[in-house]
């Protein structure tokens, strides 16, 4: 994991608003562990608070310490639309600095965890956990897309997850700036909460090459095609230079996370190529970086890299 840049007094520097973290994700992914870790870090933590009570809880002056709320399908009045409405509402409130932490996990790992603990899945108490897990993952797709911080716990022990929480949300000592680099399609609009947006639709488009159309920017053949555009090197050098100049300034000002996004027509080739390349460059420079590919996630392509096996054979 890349070394963390440091900053000072993040809560005081973030517009003076109440820091609020919603912790969510599929059952079995580690939400309870994450909420307890946040409590140890210094957050006031409440788990399984009904959505209808959130406004009443937060109606009043800031409580003076960051607040973490654990939210999942077991909440009494949970629904995807209701949670999205709450997120939209608090993102617009100037007195709050809302962050969405989504704990993700591979479905096979979730099935194994439920089997080991012999727990029933809350969405399928009378059936196999696999059915409930599949239903819950589908239910949470819109919430996952709104996450500011996404942590995949598939290969993490509880100790590892607590360390990740300290990395992302630690409020004492060596604080840091978390950087998220994302790709998106302009057809679906610019993602919410983005700090820096770069339009790369001027670059040559692999979509018009039949052998590249079904692949994405994580594939070497696609990224090479995009990088062969004579304007690519100059564009990327300027974006990288601007990012490396601004990130230390953002960290010094106390921001806890920055999102950089690249957009193209379909969100599959050019924007994905640039997202991967910039994220790698920032990680090499020592920044803690996460990668999101919004359109690939919608199509269920966030894991495998199309064309990788063919390239290895070649």
pLDDT, tens digit (0-9, with 9 covering 90-100), for 184-223: 999 999 987 789 999 999 999 999 999 999 999 999 999 9
Q: What is the pLDDT of residue 301?
A: 63
In a domain, 1, yes or no: no
In a domain, 154, yes or no: yes
Within 181-219, residue ranges assigned H as helices are none
Cα 228 to Cα 195: distance, rounded to the nearest angstrom: 28
117 and 151 assigned to the same domain: yes
Phi/psi-derived region of residue 43, left when phi > 0, alpha when psi is between -120 and 50, beta in every other case: beta
189 and 288 assigned to the same domain: yes
Q: Which helix (H) or strand (E) holds 273?
A: helix 270-284
Whether 4 is in a domain gets the answer: no
229 and 158 in one domain? no
Classify residue 102 as exposed, middle or buried by CB count within 10 Å of its CB (0-12, 13-18, 19+). Answer: buried
pLDDT at 254: 65
Q: Is residue 305 part of a domain?
A: yes
**Residue 186 and residue 164 share a domain:** no
Same domain, 266 and 195: yes
Identify whether residues 32 and 137 lie together within a single domain.
yes
Give domain status of residue 2, yes or no.
no
> What pTM was estimated for this model as a whole?
0.54
pLDDT at position 95 is 87
In a domain, 246, yes or no: yes
Residue 194 and residue 288 in one domain:
yes
Whether residue 144 sits in one domain with residue 21: yes
| Domain harbouring 138, CATH code | 3.40.50.300
Domain hosting 279: range is 178-313
Phi, psi of 187 (to 5 degrees): -60, -30
Same domain, 126 and 216: no
Q: 192 with 154, same domain?
A: no
**Domain boundary at 147, 169, 191, which?**
169
Q: Is the pLDDT of residue 313 over 80?
A: no
Does residue 273 belong to any structural domain of this protein? yes
Q: Which residue has the higher pLDDT, 119 or 78?
A: 78
pLDDT band, residue 309 (cuts 50/70/90) = very low
For 263-308, write each residue's pLDDT tens digit: 999 999 999 999 999 999 999 998 888 899 999 988 876 554 444 4
DSSP state of 206: G
Looking at the fold, whether 42 and 191 belong to one and the same domain comes out as no
Task: Single out the residue of 89, 92, 87 nearest to residue 69, CA to CA.
Answer: 87
User: At how many degrees (to 10) do helices 129-139 and 107-117 cross?
Assistant: 140
**Structural domain tally of the chain?**
2
Question: Could you tell me if residue 53 is inside a domain?
Answer: yes
Residues 153 and 196 in one domain: no
Mean pLDDT, rounded, for 96-123? 83
Q: Residue 76 pLDDT more than 70?
A: no
Cα–Cα dist 256/10, whole Å: 6
209 or 313, greater pLDDT:
209
């Amino acid at each position: 994991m890349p070394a963390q840049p440091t900053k000072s007094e993040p809560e005081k520097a973030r517009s003076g608003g109440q820091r609020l973290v919603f912790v969510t994700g599929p059952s079995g992914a580690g939400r309870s562990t994450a909420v307890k870790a946040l409590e140890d870090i210094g957050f006031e933590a409440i788990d399984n608070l009904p959505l209808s009570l959130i406004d009443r809880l937060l109606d009043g002056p800031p409580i003076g310490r960051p607040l973490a709320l654990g939210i999942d399908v077991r909440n009494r009045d949970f629904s995807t639309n209701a949670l999205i409405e709450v997120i939209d509402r608090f993102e617009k409130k100037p007195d709050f600095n809302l962050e969405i932490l989504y704990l993700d996990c591979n479905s096979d790992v979730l099935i194994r965890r439920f089997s080991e603990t012999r727990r029933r899945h809350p969405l399928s108490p009378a059936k196999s956990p696999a059915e409930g897990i599949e239903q819950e993952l589908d239910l949470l797709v819109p919430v996952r897309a709104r996450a500011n911080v996404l942590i995949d716990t598939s290969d993490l022990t509880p100790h590892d997850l607590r360390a990740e929480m300290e990395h992302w949300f630690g409020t004492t000592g060596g604080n840091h700036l978390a950087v998220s680099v994302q790709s998106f399609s302009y057809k679906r609009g610019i993602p919410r909460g983005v700090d820096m947006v770069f339009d790369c639709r001027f670059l040559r488009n692999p979509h018009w090459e039949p052998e590249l159309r079904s692949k994405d920017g994580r594939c070497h053949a696609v990224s090479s095609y995009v990088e062969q555009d004579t304007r690519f090197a100059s564009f990327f050098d300027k974006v990288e230079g601007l990012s490396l100049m601004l990130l230390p300034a953002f960290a010094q000002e106390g921001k806890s996370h920055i999102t950089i996004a690249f957009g193209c027509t379909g969100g599959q080739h050019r924007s994905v190529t640039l997202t991967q390349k910039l994220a790698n460059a920032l990680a090499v420079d020592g920044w803690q970086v996460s990668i999101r590919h919004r359109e690939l996630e919608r199509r269920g392509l966030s894991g495998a890299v199309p064309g990788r096996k063919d390239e290895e054979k070649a």
